Amino acid sequence: MLAISLGLAWLVLAPLSLWVLVRGHNLARAGAVAVLVLLESGTVALADALDPEPVVVSHTMPRQAECAESAPVPATARVVRRRSLELTWPASATECDTAKVLLRPKGHKLRVWIHEGPLTGVHPGVTTVPVHVNGGAASLRVPLPRPGAYRAIDGRTNHRIPTP
């Protein structure tokens, strides 16, 4: 109710005070300035009373104890010194600490599969590597089967993974 009263006071008194500032005499102008200052002070006091807690914005994703099984889609891939492949994707709140990566080279193309969580079945050539989360992005670095310049391809979709 106090907020509605303050809003109505702004609607009525603010235009009247501005008109007095332009057309009024010295004493009336001082009163108009005082009314505007009181309206503004009341607004600030009401805002502090209604929302006493400051808003905190975090750009980091909280890590949880349980990681969810997922197959992240790499957003970027780059070959580092022709010896390892660095893959990044948007991190989730349930990001795992490790991921299993399967690389299959064919010429200058390198098909990539990433899996987080438990992996069932037998998969020869799967490498388990740590996942690093920084600023909302997850990344990992996996050694290449043989040194070279590769073009990374997503194994599930056969689409090229862009370089950063």
What residue segments make up the domains of the chain, in order of their start?
2-50, 76-154
Summarize the confidence of residues 65-90 as an average pLDDT: 87
Question: What is the predicted pLDDT for the residue at 27?
Answer: 92
Main-chain phi, psi angles of 140, to 5 degrees? -150, 160
Summarize the confidence of residues 56-76 as an average pLDDT: 70
Q: Which amino acid is at 135?
A: G
Do strands 126-130 and 76-80 pair parallel, antiparallel, or not at all (unpaired)?
unpaired
Residue 66 pLDDT exceeds 90: no
CA distance 36 to 34: 5
Residue 61 pLDDT exceeds 60: no
Q: Which amino acid is at 84?
A: S
